[in-house]
Chain A
Amino acid sequence: MSTDTAEKTIKKPAEPFLSKRRKRIVTDPLVDNNPITIQVLGICSALAVTTQLQPTLVMALSVIFVMAMANLVISFLRNTIPSRIRIIAQLAVVATLVTLVSEVLKAYSYDMYKQLSVFIGLIITNCIVMGRLEAFAMGNKPYDSVLDGFGQALGYSWIILAVAFFREIWGSGSFFGIPVLDPVAGWIGMDSLATNGLMVTPVGAFMILGLIIWVQRSLTNYVEQ
């Protein structure tokens, strides 16, 4: 049998930037494959940083940046990283990125830096970051990897913002630092509404997180494999 070597290879049209498959990479982690509620990763920072909304927002933006950039870099290097020092190389990249974020915060937003202090550095140990590098970036192209990093970080972000929302309203009576419970108490004719001190501690965070996981899994009828 002779192979027809003169056969023109038909060039596949380039996948559109936001094809269905790529959209799913970004939207899956929001609910169906949420890093915190489904994959149960990154719980530590979800408990620690979420006492108030403002530091949580800074944390979320930092994680989005770190994950997108780390996925991008590792994906570019995926064919050159020796398999035996794979994890170490990923760690070096993540640590460098996180340190850059920390230094920028220290220079331009010192108050936030003081408030977040040790938690920015702990992004390095956040399982979601390394988990996605291993599970996705090492085996996929750069653009897809960026989308995956972005999507997973978005999934993480909305969960921690939800936890912070409840913890701040219930534990400190405020929303982004603006007192909210006192005016509401005024409307309904009470002197003040009591805040719940437990919400300010990690115990409260655990409870809120558990409730969110429960609600989300019931709504999506998730069955653990």
Chain B
Amino acid sequence: MQQSNSYIIIFSVVLTVVCGLLLSGSSQLLGPKQREAIALDTKKQILGAVMSGDEIAAMSPEEITAYYENTIASTVVNIEGEEVTEVEGTAISAETVDIGSNYKRAPEDRLYPVFIYHEEGNPDNVSAYILPLYGAGLWNAIWGYMALQSDLNTIEGVTFSHAGETPGLGARITEEGVQQRYQGKEIWGDNGELASVTMEKGEGRDYSDDPHRVDGLSGATITAVGVNNMLRNYLSYYEAFLTKMMDESPEKVAFNK
């Protein structure tokens, strides 16, 4: 009886239903908390481009959320640099744009969020513009946030994340020491062209004189190439927006090309 086919089938069905209920139940229960955790993590990453990791680690989740509310404004632009407030009738905000799924569309069709880091409570005093980036590492996706100072040229800071780079090699793009190499570098070249910042091959060289190059990661050249492409591509997508900002609101931007 225990070995009869119908018993086996009934047992399997019951087991599957019970396991399924447990999993979907937990997914429902934990869903909101998980979304909160992911949202908090995204906020930490965005703030990480303008604050040090230690400062963020010292803040409680409520403090981070409050600080984010008070200091980050946001907008969404298209590749022409024009502001986009709704798509096919639904309102969009920078927080609702999924950069990963946007990446699958052609660059001309994508939505580009911009986060504006301003003085606490004073949206007119802008400290930095934070641009989300997305690209491909060696094994899987990489992404990050680049903060530009109000001159829209000097890099205030970057954060990088990855989905599956090699620990100890490509995964080192998440290290604060590596990310700090980008601080103070410039994205525009001498002739007003977009020069971006390139991570060179090999590690251990000093590039403090060169505003467009940073030290590389030994053993992680392919990931570094992915990072370089990601920066170059996304800076070119945001180029129209950056140029518009510099032309139209010179009082907000202290840069003369």
Contacts and interface: CB of A to CB of B under 8 A. Distances in A.
Contacts of A89: 11-12, 15
Interface string A83-110: 1110011001101100110011011101
Contacts of A95: 19
Contact of B7 (A82, A100, A113, A200): A82
Q: Which of A80, A83, A103, A108 has the most CB of B within 10 A?
A: A103
B3 interface: yes
Given A85-B11, A201-B168, A110 B23 contact: no
Contacts of B7: 82
Nearest to A95: B19
Contact of A51 (B34, B37, B167): B167
Contacts of A85: 8, 11-12
A114 interface: yes
A110 B12 contact: no
Main secondary structure of the interface of B (DSSP, over half): helix
Nearest to A93: B19
A34 to B, nearest CB: 26
22 contacts: A80-B11, A82-B3, A85-B12, A92-B15, A92-B16, A93-B15, A95-B19, A96-B19, A96-B22, A96-B23, A100-B26, A103-B26, A103-B34, A104-B26, A104-B30, A106-B37, A107-B30, A107-B33, A107-B37, A110-B37, A114-B41, A200-B168
Interface residues of A, number: 29
Contacts of A100: 22-23, 26
Q: Which of B7, B16, B167 has the most CB of A within 10 A?
A: B167
Nearest to A200: B168
B167 A99 contact: no
Contacts of A93: 15, 19
Contacts of A57: none
Nearest to A51: B167
A26 B94 CA distance: 54
Nearest to A96: B19
Contact of A82 (B2, B23, B167): B2
B38 interface: yes
Nearest to A99: B23
Given A110-B41, A200-B168, A92 B19 contact: yes
B41 A83 contact: no
Closest 10 CB pairs of A and B: A110-B37, A107-B33, A107-B30, A96-B19, A82-B8, A107-B34, A200-B168, A106-B34, A103-B30, A103-B26
A81 interface: yes
Interface residues of B, number: 23
Interface in B1-39: 2-3, 7-8, 11-12, 15-16, 19, 22-23, 26-27, 30, 33-34, 37-38
Interface of B: 2-3, 7-8, 11-12, 15-16, 19, 22-23, 26-27, 30, 33-34, 37-38, 40-41, 164, 167-168
Interface string A70-81: 000000000011
B37 A82 contact: no
Contacts of A200: 167-168
A171 B16 CA distance: 44
A101 to B, nearest CB: 10
Contacts of A81: 11
B39 to A, nearest CB: 10
Contacts of A99: 23, 26
Contacts of B37: 106-108, 110, 113
A196 B99 CA distance: 38
B252 to A, nearest CB: 35
A151 B23 CA distance: 27
A82 B27 CA distance: 29
Contacts of A197: 168
Contact of B27 (A83, A103, A113): A103
